[in-house]
Amino acid sequence: MTAQGSAATSAVRSAQIDRDAGIASVTLEVNGAIRCIELEPRVSLLDALREHLQLTGSKKGCDQGTCGACTVWVDGRRVLSCLTLAVTCEGREVTTIEGLAADGDLHPMQRAFIEYDAFQCGYCTPGQIMSAIALIEEGNATTDEEIAEFMSGNICRCAAYPNIRAAIRQVRDAAV
């Protein structure tokens, strides 16, 4: 099992919902910027990011929680954004792949993915990188077996797994 799951399990903060109009007003902090959006209460965090905020780095693979391509962080914890309702993220910090680079410098994990050729088509890569960074912070990257287990929610149809694990090892070892 991975540590991925729905942000709805944390403390509840309420979005404002106009039930007559069927519209919710949601305020999120996305990659450090406050973003206010209006959407239908049924909209997933993934669709809110991609369709309402034009942050298309997070990918829609399966839209049912089985591929990990949509992985983002909510309050620093990785979640599957396709299974997370945007209204449950009211007032929370959301980090996407677009938020990793600082002052134009790629995150070390992004650089490691390039260095170790850890992608082919690249479709799964944003989710892989968001999970990989969280994995190390969770302390679940001590062995190859552990990396494989705790990255098992992120599917790579190009089977770049050995290279992904090599990139993770490099960042893990550089951090100690």
160 contributes a contact to ligand FES by CB under 6 A: yes
Least separation in angstroms between residue 4's CB and ligand FES is 8
Report how far apart, in Å, the C-alpha atoms of 79 and of each of 23, 50, 129 are: 24, 16, 13
Which residues lie closer than 8 Å to 52 by C-beta, 6 or more apart?
37, 39, 43
Ramachandran region, residue 28 (left: φ > 0; alpha: ψ -120 to 50; beta: rest)? beta
Q: Does 67 bind ligand FES (CB under 6 A)?
A: yes
| 66 is a contact residue toward ligand FES (CB under 6 A) | yes
Contact call for residue 69 and ligand FES (CB under 6 A): yes
**Binding of residue 82 to ligand FES (CB under 6 A):** yes
- Given the complex with ligand FES, which of 99 and 126 has the nearer CB atom? 126
End-to-end CA distance of the chain: 26
Which of 15, 30, 135, 156 is close enough to bind ligand FES by CB under 6 A?
156
Instruction: Check binding of 130 to ligand FES (CB under 6 A).
Output: no
Q: Which stretch binds ligand FES (CB under 6 A): 9-17, 58-66, 132-140, 165-173?
A: 58-66
Cα dihedral across residues 113, 117, 123, 124: positive or negative = negative
Distance CA 48, CA 85 (A): 9
Site membership for ligand FES, residue 172 (CB under 6 A) = no
Say how many C-beta atoms besides its own lie within 10 A of residue 55's C-beta: 20
Note the residues at the interface with ligand FES (CB under 6 A): 60-63, 65-70, 80, 82, 119-125, 156-158, 160
